[in-house]
Amino acid sequence: MEYRVGIFSLTELLGCVIFSNERFQQALESSSLVFIVTALELARKKPDSLKGRILRAARGIFAQNGYHGATTRSIAAEVGIDVSTLYYHWGSKQDLFNGILQDLQMDFEDCLREWVLRSKTTPISQCFDLGVEILGPFFLNKDVVRVVMFSFFEEDFAGRDWAVQSQRQLVSTLRTFVEKRFGPEAIVPEFDVAILSFIASTLTLVGSRSYLASVLEMDANSEEYRDLVIRTIRRSVGAFIGSIVKGDHRVELGHHDAV
């Protein structure tokens, strides 16, 4: 796992220190940069610790109510602690929310890294199915989906910078994957925006599970419904890839035009 301090990788951090990067100096002046990452690292190493329990409870409450609707008092009450104890372990509400976003980013990067590594030895036609298999559980987590949906649809979302960064990373990874396997000529002009459109529609599918399950007369929390969603996403991926990769490369990816 690449170690990060706030928004910086270890390599970036070293470069910032050596060259006195202005961006790093500004981040360093914010009171919580080092503190937040220390708390997050401890929470990730010991999920059942008080820091870990606070992080887990906060993610659910932020996902349910959004940044502005969530309160530190409700988070503290969920954990069964006084709000002053929450501040001691995580700092302010914004600090805690930043910790949640960084935690999600690290989980997302782990999934993306696994997909890239495993796809190197996987037949082309199976690569995107593999992506659904690896990234599916991350995006099927209701708390993850709600936080990401806030980033798409709330204009004043507190974590917009994180959302933009993570979506750029995913688009860049997929573009690089297609270019390395097939060459730059395989990329259609609307590739990037098509990827973002597909992500948004998939998030809506997963994020609206209670409503959709009611329409289908199914239990939204059942394995049956979860499997149905995954199969639907797999089918959508196949059609989607066929629409954004040029010409003969569609067949290599396992997509065949209807006759």
pLDDT the model gives residue 43: 93
pLDDT digits (tens, 9 = 90+) for 226-255: 888 888 887 777 677 666 665 544 444 444
Residue spans of the domains in the chain: they are 4-94, 122-252
pLDDT digits (tens, 9 = 90+) for 42-63: 999 999 999 999 999 999 999 8
Asked whether the beta carbons of 101 and 159 are under 8 A apart, the reply is yes
Instruction: Determine what percent of the chain falls in helix, strand and coil, rounding each to the nearest 5.
Output: 75, 0, 20
Q: Is the pLDDT of residue 259 over 80?
A: no
Residues 6+ apart with CB under 8 A from 92: 32
For residues 41 and 10, what is the distance between their CA atoms, to the nearest angstrom?
A: 14
Asked whether the beta carbons of 91 and 196 are under 8 A apart, the reply is no
Beta strands (DSSP E) in the chain are 4-5, 8-9
SS3 27: helix
Give the tokens for residue 53. Answer: 């329990």
Under CATH, domain 4-94 is a member of which superfamily? Answer: Homeodomain-like (1.10.10.60)
pLDDT the model gives residue 242: 67
Residues 6+ apart with CB under 8 A from 127: 119, 177, 253
Q: Is the pLDDT of residue 191 over 50?
A: yes
pTM of the entire structure?
A: 0.67
